[in-house]
C-alpha cells in the first residue's frame, strides 16, 4: 500500500500514525480513515490527548502521483477541519522532513513537536492551507513561505512559535509522549479548556469572562462530587 494509517494507545494517549512509501497527495481512503478516528474522540472519555505522527515517505525520491481527484481533496478538507476542531489536545509529531502533502495536517494541529534538523517544504493549495498559514504563522513568514516556495527549517519555525518543541531525530515520538504526559488526564477538563479557546475567536471579553466563570464553577462542583 502507498499509504496507511494505524492507531495505538499509550496510557491516556491515542497515537495516530501516517506512513507512506512515496511522496505526493494523500489517498482519499487514508484521509477518510483519519477523519473517522477523529470523529470518535467525543465518545472516548479515557483519552487525554492525541498524537498525530507524520513521517516522511520511505522513498522520498520515488515518483509522486501528480493527479489529485476532487473527492480526494474533499476528503483531505474534511480531515483537516476535524483536526482543527478536535475535542482533545492534539499534537502533530513530525518525525523528519515535512513535504507539502503533510503541511495541512501539521498546521491543523494546535501543537507541534518536530525533528530539530527537519526541513519543511513550501505548502501548496489544498486542505485550507491559506487559513492554516494565517492562523499558525506570523504574517511576514507566511507570505515568504507561500510566495518564495523555499523550504523552512524546523529551527526557524520553532523560533517563530510554530513548533512547540524540537527533538533529536529518532527521539521525536518519545519526546512527544513525555511532553503530552503532563496534560490533564481528565478528558472533560481538556475539552472544556479547548472550548474556551475556540470561543475566544468570536466572543467579546465580557462573554469570555462569563464563560470562564461558568467553567470554573463546573470544575469546582465536579471536584466536590469526586471527593464525596
Same domain, 8 and 37: yes
pLDDT of res. 64: 58
Rounded CA gap, 1 and 110, in Å?
A: 29
Instruction: Name the average pLDDT for the chain.
Output: 88
**Is the domain of 164 the same as that of 71?**
yes
129-136 helix and 139-148 helix, angle to the nearest 10 degrees: 140
Same structural domain, 152 and 198: no
**Least confident residue range of 48-57, 60-69, 72-81, 169-178:** 60-69
| Of residues 105 and 224, more confidently modeled | 105
Helix 205-227 crosses helix 187-199 at what angle (to 10 degrees)? 170
CB contact set of 73 (below 8 Å; sequence gap of 6+): 126, 127
pLDDT value, residue 43: 84
Is 145 in the same domain as 45? yes
Is 14 a residue whose pLDDT tops 80? Answer: yes
Nearest-5° Cα angle at 197, 100 to 38: 50
Q: What is the pLDDT of residue 203?
A: 79
List the Cα angle 178/181/43 in 5-degree steps: 135
Yes or no: say if 48 and 12 are a contact pair by the CB < 8 Å rule. yes
Cα 92–chain centre separation = 4
**Residue, of 124 and 117, whose pLDDT is higher:** 117
pTM score, whole prediction? 0.85
Question: What is the spatial distance between Cα 88 and Cα 82, in angstroms, rounded to a whole number?
Answer: 11
Residue 117 shares a structural domain with residue 31: yes
For residue 82, what are the domain limits?
3-180
Q: Is 78 found in the same domain as 121?
A: yes
- Are residue 16 and residue 119 in the same domain, yes or no? yes
Query: Does residue 197 sit in the same domain as residue 172?
Result: no
DSSP class of residue 185 equals S
Q: Give the pLDDT score at 24.
A: 86
Torsional sign, CA 2, 55, 153, 83:
positive
Higher pLDDT pick, 111 / 198: 111
Residue 183, pLDDT score: 75
* 216 and 114 together in one domain: no
Q: State residue 133's pLDDT score.
A: 93
Task: Return the percentage of the chain with pLDDT > 70, whole number.
Answer: 90
Q: Looking at residue 192, what is its pLDDT?
A: 72
> Model confidence over 198-222: pLDDT tens digits?
777 777 888 888 888 887 887 777 7
Predicted confidence at residue 189, as pLDDT, reads: 66
Cα–Cα distance, 195 to 24 (Å, whole number): 34
Tell me the three cell numbers of residue 217. 464553577
Residue-wise pLDDT tens digits, 27-70: 999 999 999 999 998 788 888 899 999 999 887 766 555 567 88
The rounded percent of the chain whose pLDDT value lies above 90 is 59
Give the pLDDT confidence of 133-158 residue by residue, as tens digits. Answer: 999 999 999 999 999 999 999 999 99
Please give the pLDDT value at position 23.
Answer: 84
Give how many domains the chain has, as a whole number: 2
Amino acid at each position: 500500500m502507498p499509504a496507511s494509517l494505524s492507531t495505538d494507545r499509550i496510557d491516556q494517549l491515542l497515537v495516530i500514525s501516517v506512513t507512506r512509501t512515496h511522496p505526493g497527495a494523500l489517498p482519499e481512503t487514508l484521509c477518510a480513515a483519519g477523519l473517522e478516528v477523529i470523529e470518535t474522540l467525543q465518545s472516548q472519555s479515557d483519552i487525554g490527548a492525541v498524537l498525530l505522527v507524520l513521517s516522511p515517505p520511505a522513498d522520498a525520491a520515488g515518483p509522486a502521483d501528480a493527479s489529485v481527484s476532487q473527492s480526494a481533496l474533499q476528503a483531505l478538507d474534511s480531515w483537516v477541519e476535524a483536526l482543527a476542531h478536535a475535542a482533545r489536545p492534539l499534537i502533530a509529531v513530525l518525525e523528519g522532513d515535512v513535504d507539502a502533502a503533510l503541511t495541512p495536517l501539521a498546521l491543523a494541529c494546535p501543537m507541534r513537536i518536530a525533528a530539530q534538523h527537519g526541513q519543511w517544504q513550501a505548502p501548496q493549495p489544498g486542505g485550507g492551507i491559506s487559513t492554516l498559514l494565517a492562523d499558525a504563522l506570523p504574517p511576514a513568514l507566511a507570505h515568504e513561505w507561500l510566495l518564495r516556495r523555499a523550504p523552512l527549517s524546523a529551527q526557524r519555525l520553532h523560533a517563530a512559535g510554530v513548533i512547540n518543541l524540537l527533538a533529536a531525530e529518532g527521539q521525536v515520538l518519545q519526546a512527544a509522549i513525555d511532553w503530552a504526559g503532563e496534560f490533564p488526564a481528565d478528558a472533560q477538563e481538556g475539552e472544556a479548556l479547548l472550548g474556551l479557546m475556540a470561543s475566544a475567536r468570536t466572543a467579546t471579553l465580557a462573554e469570555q469572562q462569563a464563560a470562564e466563570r461558568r467553567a470554573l464553577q463546573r470544575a469546582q462542583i465536579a471536584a466536590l462530587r469526586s471527593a464525596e
